[in-house]
Amino acid sequence: MHPGTWPSVEIARLERSLKALVKLVDEQARSGSDDVVRELSRFLVIRSCGLVEQIAEECCRSYLRSKSDPRSSSFGQSWLGRGANPSPGNLVKLVSRFDPRWADDLNHLFDADDELLKRELVFLVDRRNKIAHGLSEGIGARKALDLADIALAVSGWFISTVNPTA
């Protein structure tokens, strides 16, 4: 059984940190300088994408620790953290290694609402990569805030589905 509460302290910290940044970007968008808002928005995109990566991995690690013997858990965890972008395809592939039903469920989530979540997650990953490589990305505060909501939705699916206490 997974020790402690779920979601873990680390997951709660990651979510809290992103939500604080969302609040800051929203406040600055109303009253801050354009340069500050632009840079904070870019930072929010990077952190939103990182949230999806970190929560997906932390959920999988926690699940492995709680459901496997130590050797199996160690082996399974060695396959995590290889730095793959959290694209819809990569996330579905990750959860399919645990349970094909999880993959089906995540695919349904991505396909719902005319694939809005899938398209926006692809856009988030693309913009994060452009920012990280110093390329022009054209992100404003409103779009960065919307992408943070996408990251929280995908992360929420991982927290509820890849739940080591279930």
Q: What is the mean pLDDT of each run of 10 residues along the chain (166 residues)?
A: 78 98 97 94 98 96 92 83 88 96 98 98 97 92 98 98 94
pTM for the structure as a whole: 0.93
In this structure, the chain runs to a length of 166
Predicted local confidence at residue 157, as pLDDT: 98
CA dihedral for 163, 74, 67, 9, sign (positive or negative): negative
Taking alpha carbons only, the member of 115, 121, 120 closest to residue 56 is: 121
Q: State in words which class domain 9-161 has.
A: mainly alpha
Predicted local confidence at residue 2, as pLDDT: 45
Predicted local confidence at residue 6, as pLDDT: 96
Predicted local confidence at residue 14, as pLDDT: 97
Predicted local confidence at residue 75, as pLDDT: 84
